[in-house]
Structure 1
Amino acid sequence: MRKIWDIHGGVHPPENKAQSLGRGIIQAGIPPVLVHPLSQHIGAPAAPIVEVGQRVLKGQMIAEAAGFVSVPVHAGSSGTVAAIEHREIPHPSGLLAPCVVIETDGKDEWIDHQGIADYTTLDKPALINVIRNAGIAGMGGAGFPSAVKLSTRDDAVIDTLIINGTECEPYITADDILMRERADQIIAGVKILQHLIQPTEQTLIGVEDNKPEGIAALRAAAQGSNIEVVVFPTKYPSGGEKQLIQILTGREVPSGGLPADVGIVCQNIGTTVAIHRAVHYGEPLISRITTVTGDACTAPGNFEVLLGTPVEHLLKLGGFQQDNCIRLVMGGPMMGFTLRDTSVPVVKTTNCLLAPTKKELPPPPPAQACIRCGMCAEACPVSLLPQQMYWFARGKEYEKLEDHNLFDCIECGACSYACPSNIPLVQYYRASKAEIRKQQQEKVKSEHAKARFEARQLRIEREEAEKEARRKARQEAAKKKAAAGKDPVKAAQEKATTSAVDPAQAAIEKAMAKRSGTAPAETKDEKLARLKKAVETAEKRLESAAGKLKEAEAAEAPNLGALQTAHQRMTEKLSAAKDELQQFEQENSDDPAAAAIARAQAARAKADDKSPLEKAQDQVASLEKRLHKSEQKLAEARDSGSDTAPVLEQSTAKLRDKLEAARGELAQLSESEAPVAAAASTNDPAQLAIEKAMAAREAAAKLSPEDKAKKALESLEARVEKTRQKLAEAEESGADTIDVLRDTLAKLEDKLAQARQEAGVEP
């Protein structure tokens, strides 16, 4: 006989398990709507990968894991994604969380899936990845991701694998019915876990002695294997992970430690079945067995229900009578919590829906003063001091609570059950845990803010020091200049004769001399050299701009417009530099008559170089400027009541007529010369870029104010979306730019809201 150890404390509440075991597992069917919360487990919520209006199939991944401690979510049935929004989820606080809502189509069409013929051929990482992608989390407790729990270190020796079939809380029989009807699937899942964990000594399935039929089915399915079914006396809460480990092995998991620290891995009965379905059939976790029980249900039982099914749909199958129910509980009477809304969905950890009558589960009487009887300490399975912790919780002495190992409390409720004064002790502990976690988060935020503030202060101090150093350097330079005399030319000459020449100071002195008018005049040779240098520099910069523009056009870069504008500007600068050089050379020619003739010829050549289209464009541009000025003068005259208003109206009307005629002529020339211009510019990338820029500028000029506002609004929306993507990438990678991106996004969103308001567009 295997030795069984006892645990400290524990209680024996009425079991009330028979009423839901009158029939086998019942299929709950497909509800009209499935609501899939993105957080059904401990860790980071999953991230949606579907869009509203998209059709999905049964078993299709609709949200991917958002980190190592996270699991994906899969569609329970085929249908259409109706919404991705915040809805109330099963939680003691009744909080709202993101959910993917699917309107089912009743076809129940599966995705293509298949199992692994021989999982023993896979290495450990590959097999764990199969379990992770199936979205499997612990189905008997808080929902810890199974893949994380099974990812034990290679240097950690695991000698014992324990499967938890205790199900010690009253009313719940989901694991019991699994053992009775699907014992072979449980054993198949345990063998997969054995292959993963490689326990060096033993594999145990722990079951309380109040489940004789389930025990018999498990032992029959485990015959011929090295899996041992261990039976022990019923006591609540022997189903706690650490308590079960102590009962079966006598080992105690240290405070704040994990079972792996003592060479043990523990999994739930329901989780083993989910692992079996994922590995052998390729099915993700999309359903579970849930007990519907209580005297307010006329047809209690255990239902195989799709995850995401609204609780109200499941209650109808159980014959729920709302008028007879005092309160609806998700979970058992000891650790469950009250549901405020029956529209919340069934999730991966929903093992029971309890609908008791007032007679069956009467409301607790008012709490009385603590009589210091110590019964709570006797009932605590973790050997804590509930009475002392209660006083600390009431006094909000959180540091003392942590010193008394508050976070070792498993919130089983045994202390509250045993308290003769009816004090809701476990509620005090839950509230204190939440407050401590909140303070810890605020402390982390405060430390981050402090670090950012200190870095900012250091930066400001460094900038001030650099500014002061530059100021002192200027003062020293001024003193030296004053000592050399007030003549900046003389100071510059003396400075040039010194051995240690400061280029920056020399430039300052040269600029001062030029400003004071005492600088020597620039000779013809110096000006000619300067103009030639300017032309050479402009040519190099134009060549560089043309190369960048060509690369951007080939890659269809987003900054193509800016590069086109830069290229056009450089072309204009080069042309201006060449003109200035040519003019200087002509003016300083040895033959004045020849110089005058050359200037006239250059002006005529420049005019002749322009095509009729270019001349028409210049004419339109000139008329537009004149019309704009005339309209401004007319408006000012009207506002002031001047007598010149009628004259200005006539001149403005004439200018409008001339502009319309010029635009008509320009349009005709554009139609006739467009093919020629296109053919001429096809082989010249630089000219093509100029033409594109001119066309874009002309198109922008022709836009109405409404179109310009719309275009600006679209540009802002694109910038907001791009910034959001950068912020999401920064948050995922933990980059230092998160705060900057958040500020930028907030400013852009404010600008976008203002632009939408001005344009009369709904957000």
Structure 2
Amino acid sequence: MKLFGKLYSIRGGIHPDDRKSLAATQPIEDLPLPDLLHIPLQQHIGAAANPVVQRRQQVHKGEIIAMAQGAVSAPIHAPTSGRIAGLGLYPANHPSGLNVRTITLQPDGEDRWHPDIRGVDDPFALAPEDIARRVAEAGVVGMGGATFPSAVKLNLRNRYSLHTLVINGSECEPYLTCDDRLMREHPEQVLDGVRIMAHALGVRQIIIGIESNKPEAIAALKDAAKPFAGVEVVKLPARYPMGSEKHLVQTLTGRETPARGLTADIGVVVHNPATAFAVHEALRHGRPLISRVVTVTGQAVAQPKNLRVPIGTRVQALVDHCGGFTEAPAKLISGGPMMGQPLTELRVPIMKGTNGVLALTAAETNKRAPAPCIRCASCVGACPCGLVPLTMAAHIRAGDLDGAVGQGLMDCIGCGSCAYVCPAHIPLVQFFNHAKGELAARGRAQQKQTETKRLAEARSARIEAQKQAKRAAMAKRKAEQAAQKAKEKAAAAEAKQAEPAEPAEPAAAAAVAEAS
């Protein structure tokens, strides 16, 4: 039974060479445990987790080593059994390469699960709140790259009227094949996680969207979905950025998400296949998110592969397992080539949101010096959000960030389509990301200034209140003292009036008697 009709077209987009053939045929391999695991405490959107272990402490596989802080956060678990070797700073898997708070775990090689790790026989017998709670306790986050805590999205049923769960299996970034292999090799587990999430959300309709360049994954999910009503696997056009959840929802439903709104505003929640697999693992087996599939590819990699990797493994270990480099890479990227982040060094760790490690040759990057804009408007035609990138870039060059915002800067999804098609090789998306960073910094500075002013005003008010309280207390004490003195004076006067007349002296009395 068809759940919906035609696919709807979206504006813009590009058709880059997907270059997925390098790794698409490689089945998922388990990476051997490394000597050390460096596990960052900030692996998700929201507050960093707080460590609950100490140096030299022994831990089991799956044991909580850092607790979530606040509603939008996620706990972190030990990827294997071993000893806590350190709690300190370590380089982040981030373009800045700055050190971040990290737990270093030394595996003992036994890979012993924590004894309390256990799943439930029938997740569909659980209340939605219990499913969301178990997903939160397992530290599951969005594994398509956004790393938003999944339990928060599962609780959207309390605030929105939801009707559809969409699984984003497009994996539209070139080179990446980790979701493709996961759907091909574990379709039943992925679908089970999808159905559990739909139960938690209270929706009856499930749409799994997969791009047409993944025929094996489409066939595997269709076979797995046959026994279940309300599930449809849809073949999507291979077009970048089909993986943008708002554009994916528009393609499937024809409905556009409000600017800066959520797909939940139109009744739809979007999750990733790898996230669905993690939910299956958490509910059926009680296993937290401690590993993920990562694509290691690029023409500079000797043997491109898809690897199941413990969280905290250094990128160097993945490269070594793939035979190293055939030549010095011209560019190293964490993630995909369009929206991924440059890798500063190979010793940074794999995190929950790391879906790819790319080592690209100079021929693949085709880097050229930017030339002046010729106003050809190619970027306008490619922008999937209907923006005018050349105008936004002009405002940013002139330092007019407010003008860029007026042109729709904050609606830019950073997909890089404009930069890809620019014949002048202008790094447009870098302009926009820089401007967003500047605006964020400006906002933080303004917030700091406002908070500082508020605290200063509160301090002044507090000091003034203390002064007034002191003056009032002093006036009260003076009044009490004056009243006490008046009371004492009045009492003395009363006592004097109440005293009897003193008798006359004997000599005076005799004289009075003689005279009389």
TM over 0.5: yes
Match of 1:54 among 44, 53, 57: 57
Q: Is the 8 A contact 1:324 1:358 kept in 2?
A: no
CA distance in 1, matches of 2:187, 2:140: 19
What is the Cα deviation at residue 94 of structure 1?
1.9
Q: Determine what percentage of the aligned residue pairs are the same residue.
A: 42
**1:121 aligned to 2:125?**
yes
CA distance in 2, matches of 1:17, 1:324: 21
CA distance in 2, matches of 1:460, 1:233: 66
Residues 529-572 of structure 1, C-alpha deviations (whole Å, 9 max, x = no match): xxxxxxxxxxxxxxxxxxxxxxxxxxxxxxxxxxxxxxxxxxxx
Residues 645-670 of structure 1, C-alpha deviations (whole Å, 9 max, x = no match): xxxxxxxxxxxxxxxxxxxxxxxxxx
What is the Cα deviation at residue 153 of structure 1?
3.7
CA distance in 1, matches of 2:215, 2:157: 37
CA distance in 2, matches of 1:344, 1:466: 57
In the alignment, what sits opposite 2:452?
Answer: 449
Report 1 or 2 for greater relative contact order, CA contacts < 8 Å, sequence distance ≥ 6: 2
User: Which structure 2 residues correspond to residues 48-447 of structure 1 after superposition, within 5 A?
Assistant: 48-112=51-115, 113-154=117-158, 156-200=160-204, 202-226=205-229, 227-321=231-325, 323-362=327-366, 364-447=367-450
User: Normalized against structure 1, the TM-score is what?
Assistant: 0.61
Q: Is the 8 A contact 1:14 1:170 kept in 2?
A: yes
Change (3 A) 1:107 1:472: closer
CA distance in 2, matches of 1:393, 1:252: 28
Which structure shows the higher strand fraction? 2
How many residue pairs are counted as aligned between the two chains? 486
Q: Match of 2:364, SS?
A: coil
What is the Cα deviation at residue 473 of structure 1?
11
Residues 131-167 of structure 1, C-alpha deviations (whole Å, 9 max, x = no match): 0000000000211110001101436221111001000
CA distance in 2, matches of 1:218, 1:464: 73
Change (3 A) 1:467 1:220: closer
CA distance in 2, matches of 1:472, 1:271: 68
User: In terms of Rg, which structure is larger?
Assistant: 1
**1:13 aligned to 2:16?**
yes
Unaligned regions of 5+ residues in structure 2, if any?
A: 493-516
Letter in 2 for 1:194: A
Q: Is the 8 A contact 1:57 1:111 kept in 2?
A: yes
CA distance in 2, matches of 1:349, 1:205: 21
CA distance in 2, matches of 1:394, 1:126: 51
Q: Is the 8 A contact 1:415 1:425 kept in 2?
A: yes
Change (3 A) 1:422 1:78: same
Q: Is the 8 A contact 2:66 2:75 kept in 1?
A: yes
User: Which structure 2 residues correspond to residues 442-591 of structure 1 after superposition, within 5 A?
Assistant: 442-461=445-464, 503-505=480-482
Change (3 A) 1:466 1:150: closer
Q: Is the 8 A contact 1:396 1:432 kept in 2?
A: no
CA distance in 2, matches of 1:366, 1:415: 16
RMSD, aligned CA = 2.3
Which structure shows the higher helix fraction? 1
Q: Is the 8 A contact 1:320 1:355 kept in 2?
A: no
Q: Match of 1:101, SS?
A: strand
Q: Is the 8 A contact 2:145 2:355 kept in 1?
A: no
CA distance in 1, matches of 2:213, 2:310: 28
Q: Is the 8 A contact 1:329 1:338 kept in 2?
A: yes
Letter in 2 for 1:211: K
Once the two structures are overlaid, the 10-residue window that deviates more, 284-293 or 83-92, is 83-92
CA distance in 2, matches of 1:457, 1:87: 42
Q: Match of 2:48, SS?
A: coil
Q: Match of 2:158, SS?
A: coil
Letter in 2 for 1:260: A
In the alignment, what sits opposite 2:33?
Answer: 30
What is the Cα deviation at residue 506 of structure 1?
5.4
Residues 334-365 of structure 1, C-alpha deviations (whole Å, 9 max, x = no match): 11121111111111111111111122223x21
Q: Match of 2:450, SS?
A: helix
Residues 507-529 of structure 1, C-alpha deviations (whole Å, 9 max, x = no match): 67999x9xxxxx9xxxxxxxxxx
Q: Match of 1:266, SS?
A: strand
User: Which structure 2 residues correspond to residues 683-722 of structure 1 after superposition, within 5 A?
Assistant: none
Letter in 2 for 1:158: L
Q: Is the 8 A contact 2:12 2:386 kept in 1?
A: yes
User: Normalized against structure 2, the TM-score is what?
Assistant: 0.89
What is the Cα deviation at residue 452 of structure 1?
2.4
**1:40 aligned to 2:17?**
no
Once the two structures are overlaid, the 10-residue window that deviates more, 116-125 or 458-467, is 458-467
Letter in 2 for 1:425: L
CA distance in 2, matches of 1:425, 1:462: 55
Once the two structures are overlaid, the 10-residue window that deviates more, 246-255 or 113-122, is 113-122
CA distance in 2, matches of 1:303, 1:295: 17
CA distance in 1, matches of 2:139, 2:111: 19
Q: Match of 1:324, SS?
A: coil
Letter in 1 for 2:125: T
Change (3 A) 1:377 1:462: same
What is the Cα deviation at residue 221 of structure 1?
0.9
What is the Cα deviation at residue 457 of structure 1?
3.2
Q: Match of 2:165, SS?
A: strand
Q: Match of 1:355, SS?
A: strand
Residues 249-279 of structure 1, C-alpha deviations (whole Å, 9 max, x = no match): 1111101111110000110010000000110
Q: Is the 8 A contact 2:302 2:326 kept in 1?
A: no
Residues 97-153 of structure 1, C-alpha deviations (whole Å, 9 max, x = no match): 111100111111111221101112211111110000000000002111100011014
CA distance in 1, matches of 2:233, 2:460: 65
Q: Is the 8 A contact 1:237 1:412 kept in 2?
A: yes
Q: Is the 8 A contact 1:35 1:101 kept in 2?
A: yes
Residues 226-265 of structure 1, C-alpha deviations (whole Å, 9 max, x = no match): 2100002111101111111011111111011111100001
Letter in 1 for 2:481: A
CA distance in 2, matches of 1:44, 1:369: 42
Residues 2-30 of structure 1, C-alpha deviations (whole Å, 9 max, x = no match): 30111110111111111112331111110
What is the Cα deviation at residue 427 of structure 1?
0.8
Q: Is the 8 A contact 1:35 1:99 kept in 2?
A: yes
Q: Match of 1:18, SS?
A: helix
CA distance in 2, matches of 1:264, 1:405: 24
Residues 61-112 of structure 1, C-alpha deviations (whole Å, 9 max, x = no match): 1001101000000111111101111111111222221111001111111112
What is the Cα deviation at residue 464 of structure 1?
6.0
CA distance in 1, matches of 2:480, 2:159: 65
Change (3 A) 1:245 1:460: same
CA distance in 2, matches of 1:129, 1:22: 37
